[in-house]
Amino acid sequence: MRYKLTVLIVFLISANPVLCWYNTLENIQSEISKIKTMKATFTQKKYLIDILDKPLVSNGNFVYKLDDSATHLRWEYTHPKQIQSVLLISGANISHYIKTNDDFVRSYATNVEVMRIVVEEIRTWLSGRLNTANFTASKDRKNDSLVILTPVNKDLKSMISFITIDLNTKPGILKSITIYENEKSYTVLSFSDIIKDAKIDNTRFTTP
């Protein structure tokens, strides 16, 4: 009898959308902001429908930390070797390095306008704000785990049509991000091997 009751409670909890962490935008933002550190690997697939018959695939890892002073992010591409690079964000400091002949060399990729916007967005999302100066967030009507970010101004819209964030069932965790430039050009970032609340040294965000 006790077993049946437990099963019933578990069923009711899982079936109840009110208790699901991504039932409202406010809940989503609140849960994301609770994550203080995270490590994960990612797979990036770039689709160019008219040009590529299969997507360009690259892999890497990221490390994230939110402390009292600031948000920190290390976003590193490890494969293929030709594009090995690392983006470092530590508070207001943003730097990008590319690997050349086994050495990391400072790059100016973040000077490219669209990259500046993307970096700024990532930083804001990680702190738990999905509605930003550049994008308006809304929940997808059909897929409950999907958040849609729409650019607010025309100039940005000419670069990025919209972004979708697919949420993991685990609170505060993202399953994937898809950046649509248009229907024929989009990038899917999928996350795996996610570790929450690990101890992460701040040098990871300042040293390539």
Partner 1 sequence: MIKHSVLLLALCTILTCSHTLPSIKQNGVIASPAEWSFFFTDKKIKLIHSIEASLPNNEQIKVIGISIISPFEKEIHSVVLTIEGIVLLEVIYKDNTVTTIRAVPPFDSEDNSVSLISDVALILLKPSVDTVTRFNISDKEILFRCITADTIIDIHKYLADYSVQMNHYTDKKLLKNTITYTNFNEDTIPQNITFINHGLFGYVLSLELMNYSFFEDNQK
Question: Beta strands 85-90 and 146-151: pairing type?
Answer: unpaired
137 near partner 1 (CB under 8 A): no
Interface residue with partner 1, options 17, 19, 34, 113 (CB under 8 A): 113
Q: Cβ closer to partner 1: 8 or 105?
A: 105
Q: Which amino acid is at 122?
A: I
Interface residue with partner 1, options 6, 67, 80, 143 (CB under 8 A): 80
Neighbouring residues of 122: CB distance < 8 A, sequence distance ≥ 6:
73, 75, 89
Nearest 5°: the CA angle 18, 23, 29 is 125
Q: Cβ closer to partner 1: 22 or 75?
A: 75
Neighbouring residues of 206: CB distance < 8 A, sequence distance ≥ 6:
88, 90, 93
Give the N- to C-terminal CA distance of the chain in Å, as an integer. Answer: 58
Backbone φ, ψ for residue 126 (5° rounding): -65, -25
- 103-111, 133-141, 165-173, 192-200 -> range binding partner 1 (CB under 8 A): 103-111
d(CA 14, CA 8): 10
Rounded to 10 degrees, what is the CA torsion of 61, 31, 89, 178?
60
d(CA 188, CA 43): 8
Q: Cβ closer to partner 1: 58 or 176?
A: 58
Total residues binding partner 1 (CB under 8 A):
32
77 near partner 1 (CB under 8 A): yes
Interface residue with partner 1, options 32, 42, 44, 147 (CB under 8 A): 44
48 near partner 1 (CB under 8 A): yes
Interface residue with partner 1, options 13, 14, 108, 197 (CB under 8 A): 108
Backbone φ, ψ for residue 98 (5° rounding): -115, 150
**Residues 151-190 close enough to bind partner 1 by CB under 8 A:** 158-160, 179, 181, 185, 187
- 29-37, 49-57, 131-139, 193-201 -> range binding partner 1 (CB under 8 A): 49-57
Contacting positions for partner 1 (CB under 8 A): 44, 46, 48, 51-52, 56, 58, 77, 80, 82-83, 85, 98, 100, 105-109, 111-115, 118, 158-160, 179, 181, 185, 187
